[in-house]
Amino acid sequence: MNYCLYCSPQAMEKWIHEKEAYILPDYKLAQLPPELLTFNVLYKILGQKQIYTLEDARRLQKKQYTIQQYRNQMDLTQGYSPEQMLAILKDRCRYLIERGSTLNNPHIPASYFQGWEQITENHAQRLRELVAEALDDKA
């Protein structure tokens, strides 16, 4: 390793806000379709039932819920009401759309770090000092 940089949350704030502004329209758009889902959509996917089973819920959510979350979602002793299953369907839709509306591994241009201290020696010690300075500045 030639050098490393310390990026405090304060130092990264501008870049983070830029990325937030970049994805915000997509994120807001992703919130709309789940609310448009109706019982008719649920029935097309899982059929019309009085009680939906744990297996039905797993068909929708796959492995997004833990077994405890699946059980916590049950509003009937034998499973899920149509209303609850519709809520699970909306949750799945929201998850799928949000997954596509986020920004994974955004590139930070090297120019962003111009003028930052390059830590070339005593990496751990200097990093501790910089973190302590950032904490003092925050306080």
What does the alpha-carbon distance between residue 125 and residue 128 come to, in Å, rounded to a whole number? 5
Strand partners, 52: 80
Percent of the chain residues past pLDDT 90, beyond the cut:
56
Average pLDDT for 94-104: 81
What does the alpha-carbon distance between residue 98 and residue 51 come to, in Å, rounded to a whole number? 29
Q: Is 119 helix (H, G, I), strand (E, B) or coil?
A: strand
pLDDT of residue 93: 93
pLDDT of residue 18: 92
- Are 37 and 60 spatial neighbours (Cβ–Cβ below 8 Å)? no
Which residue did the predictor score with more confidence, 7 or 100?
Answer: 7
Which residue did the predictor score with more confidence, 84 or 64?
Answer: 84
Q: What is the pLDDT of residues 4-47, one digit of tens each?
A: 999 888 889 999 999 999 989 988 888 899 999 999 999 999 99
Under DSSP, the state recorded for 78 is: T
